[in-house]
Amino acid sequence: MTARLDDSAQDLLRDLAPKVLGALLRRYRDFGGCEDAVQEALIAAGLQWPSQGLPDSPMGWLITVATRRLTDQVRADTARRLREQLVVSLIPADEQIARIADAAGVNERDETLDLYFMCCHPALSSASQIALTLRAVGGLTTAEIAQAFLVPEATMAQRLTRAKATIKSAGSTFPELTPADRTFRLPAVLTVLYLVFSEGYTSSGGDQLYRVDLSNEAIRVARLLFELLPDEPEVGGLLALMLLTDARRASRTGPNGELIPLDVQDRANWDRARIAEGTRILERALLRKRAGPYQIQAAIAALHDEADSTETTDWRQILGLYDSLLQFNNGPMVRLSRTIALAMVEGPAAGLSALDAIALDPCSSIRHRIDSARAHLLERAGQHAEAIRYYRQAAQRTTSTPEQNYLLLHAARLSDSFNA
């Protein structure tokens, strides 16, 4: 086993990745080529830094190596890139590198920012947007991204290659974004970061040893975005939502990966530092008086985080927040969550009749959640036989193994006490 970078060097490398890419793009424009060159420089750093130590200027080192890889690539590819080769070869290699390093910092902020928007190009599927964001902005290697999503490396490499080809054929050079473009694409960027964060929860099984923690990566990349756009309240809202949710992570599962629901979690194990940081960021965002779905969801998470128990949670305020959230997103998942809050305020009977309205237009992806919510409310209403039936139905319909185990065990426990 070769030496590995320690965590702080790994973080430094990943934080520098988008800046190095921005610097290269400033000079060479070609997104696909520059992105490949930076990836190779990151891999070279991962191999050389552990034995040779950190260079004096890690950023300069990465720019130098990436530029060499890019010029090598350009020289090797004579036919297709004849024009670039001529332009590049007019300037001696060392001088090119020096110019790039000097120019760093001028428009660094905008260009790092444009990387986020580039990776969320509307022509790309969300799976491709996610992969490209993790590589170009997150500085992860293809192998790390593949492991995190439990797919073969060749599959992930192909997904990335196709994503870059799609951007190219859509006619995008870099950077070409107007402020209007950025405003238009910001929701897509936030969605991608939230999807990465959620994926960190759903694929949290298996061998963790060399797997990148996607939730931590999402938080790290969201922090970078927040530094670039401190005045966008929804960016703060998203970062706050991630921190306030992640604060409960250690309490959310037992030693064998079994799910532990909110009402029986050990709240003493919640991460108070994350809660404090998330709350501070959320309060700052709310001051701008431009509400949005991430700020509202963060506010709901904050109310859960500050309560001592489910009973002392301010469900009335949570219900009001779900009503506000419905104005932005009236999808079945939000309506279902609102129903749970309604039942906590007005009792299970009110929740059950609200549930009937949602179940009228069932979207298959949440059918098992409706079943599970109904089972929970029936149990609270004392209708145990019916509750057991719906817990089992939910268990049959879910496609998540930990959730299925939880539902089966809950139904069995209820059934055992019912029969006793």
By CB under 8 A, which span of 87-95, 170-178, 183-191, 405-413 interacts with another protein?
A: 405-413
Structure tokens that stand for 104 in this block: 């760093």
Local structure of 242: helix, strand or coil: helix
Our CB check for another protein shows the closer of 164 and 374 to be 374
330 binds another protein, rule: CB under 8 A: no
> Pick from 69, 68, 65, 71: which is nearest to 88 by CA?
71
Helix (H) or strand (E) holding 133: helix 126-136
> Pick from 217, 206, 283, 212: which is nearest to 246 by CA?
217
> What is the C-alpha to C-alpha distance for residues 382 and 374, in angstroms, rounded to an integer?
12
Q: How many residues sit close enough to another protein to count as binding (CB under 8 A)?
A: 17
Per-residue x/- marks for another protein, 196-235, CB under 8 A?
-----------x----------------------------
**Any alpha helices (H) in 172-257, and if so which ranges?**
179-202, 214-228, 233-246, 249-252
Nearest approach, Cβ of 200 to another protein (angstroms)? 20
329 binds another protein, rule: CB under 8 A: no
Nearest approach, Cβ of 416 to another protein (angstroms)? 5
> Pick from 254, 250, 259, 238: which is nearest to 196 by CA?
238
411 binds another protein, rule: CB under 8 A: yes
Contacts of 74 (CB under 8 A, 6+ apart): 33, 81, 84, 85, 88
Per-residue x/- marks for another protein, 248-277, CB under 8 A?
--------xx--------------------
Nearest approach, Cβ of 410 to another protein (angstroms)? 9
125 binds another protein, rule: CB under 8 A: no
By CB under 8 A, which span of 185-193, 245-253, 347-355, 409-417 interacts with another protein?
A: 409-417
> What is the C-alpha to C-alpha distance for residues 80 and 394, in angstroms, rounded to an integer?
56
By CB under 8 A, which span of 156-164, 211-219, 220-228, 401-409 interacts with another protein?
A: 401-409
Give me the count of residues in the chain. 420
The residue ranges that bind another protein (CB under 8 A) are 207, 256-257, 392, 395-397, 399, 401, 405, 408-409, 411-413, 415-416
